[in-house]
Amino acid sequence: MANILIADDASFMRSSLKFIVESAGHVVVGLAKSGNEAVEMFEKHRPDIVTLDILMNGGDGISALRQIMKLDPGARVIMISAMGHEEKQKEAKVLGAAGFIRKPFKAEDIVAEIERIGSHRV
């Protein structure tokens, strides 16, 4: 079981991810609507894993990743992106993202990536 922070500017995506994560036995410690809010919630909750949408209003996922990694270089962050954002994915990897999920995704893809990231302590 992992404590997970979910960040996505689309309420449907936040709700979907929350359902998937909780159905897999994990705990959602926060739902952020922006990258800026994700950083604030990360500082407050110090989750085991963060899911960050790459493109969000109010501070994007790349900026949030950069700030989270400054706060905790061992943070485990899974970036979520749509097709066509390969350059942003490369940038996220350089910044320290531990995993990637491409939209549209299946529930089992999310669970598998959480399990993979969660099993590797940084």
pLDDT tens string, the chain, 122 residues long: the values are 899 999 999 999 999 999 999 999 999 999 999 999 999 999 999 999 999 999 888 888 999 999 999 999 999 999 998 766 678 888 899 999 999 998 889 999 999 999 999 876 54
Question: pTM (2 decimals)?
Answer: 0.93
Q: In what order do the strands lie in the sheet with 3-7?
A: 27-32, 3-7, 49-53, 77-82, 99-103
Which 8-state DSSP code applies to residue 55?
A: S
- Pairing state between β 77-82 and 27-32: unpaired
Which 8-state DSSP code applies to residue 82?
A: E
Angle of helix 11-23 relative to helix 107-118, nearest 10 degrees, comes to: 60
Pick the CATH number of 3-42+61-105 from 1.10.486.10, 3.40.50.2300, 2.40.50.140, 3.40.80.10: 3.40.50.2300
Residue type, 43: E
